[in-house]
Structures are given as C-alpha cells and as structure tokens.
Amino acid sequence: MAAMLLSPPIARFWDGIDSRIDRIAMGISGLCLVHCVATTVLLTLISSAGALLDPRIHEIGLALAIGMGVIALGRGIATHGYMMPAVVGAFGLGIMAGALSLPHGGFEIFWTLIGVALVALGHDLNRRATY
C-alpha cells in the first residue's frame, strides 16, 4: 500500500529528470551542429589558404587527422566494440589521402571535403555508439 502511494511522486520526479536530460541533449546536439559546420568552413578556408603558404600543410593536416582518427576511433572500438565508426572514418581518411594526388583545384577540394565529411560522420557515429 505504501509503495502505491510513493509511485506517483517518484514517477513525476523521473519524468522531470528525463525532460531535463532531453533538453540538455538537444542543446548539446545543437552545439555539435554548430561545431561541425564551423569546422567544415574552417577546414575549407585552411585548405584554400594552404596553397598560398605551403603545399605541405595538406600533408601535415592529413597526418594530424590520421593520428587523431587512430586515437579516437580506435578508443571507440575498445570502448563500445563497434567497427562501423572506424570503418567510415578510415574511408574518409583514405579519400582525403587520395585527394592529395589530384592537381590543386576544384576536384581536390571536392574530394577533400567529401573525405572530411566522412571522417566527421565516423566520429559522430563513434560518439553516438559510446552513449
């Protein structure tokens, strides 16, 4: 009898907590969207400016992306056991590496952005699988 009296307040308490968690998660998702768009724009600007400064900036950027991908996506495999995020991210890194062999210009930028988008998708899948 006492358990039945306590159930509605406990249910209301948990409903409030769930609602707050959903709102926080939606806010974080919005920040993630802003981050992804800003990163894409920044990488586009850096890749365009890279030709003006030094062509090696592409190789350095790719090396950093591969290093971060190995650490983050590899840790994801160890944490949640799903290979798909790492496969998608590795495919994107491969496209980025292949884009380095193209002449500087439209197709190189196009394939680099496709690769960057796939790497970002791999990291997003990794993040989602962790939760």
Evaluate whether 121 touches 91 at the Cβ level (below 8 Å). Answer: no
Residues 6-63 pLDDT 10s: 466 655 665 555 446 556 655 665 665 676 667 777 777 776 665 555 667 778 888 8
Query: What's the predicted TM-score (pTM) here?
Result: 0.61
Q: How far is the C-alpha of 131 from the C-alpha of 126, rounded, in Å? A: 9
How does pLDDT run across 70-85, given as a tens digit for each residue? 888 888 888 888 899 8
Summarize pLDDT for 101-118 with one digit per residue, the tens: 888 777 887 888 888 888
**Element at 33 (helix H, strand E):** helix 2-53
pLDDT of residue 30: 61
What integer pLDDT is reported at residue 95 of this predicted model? 92
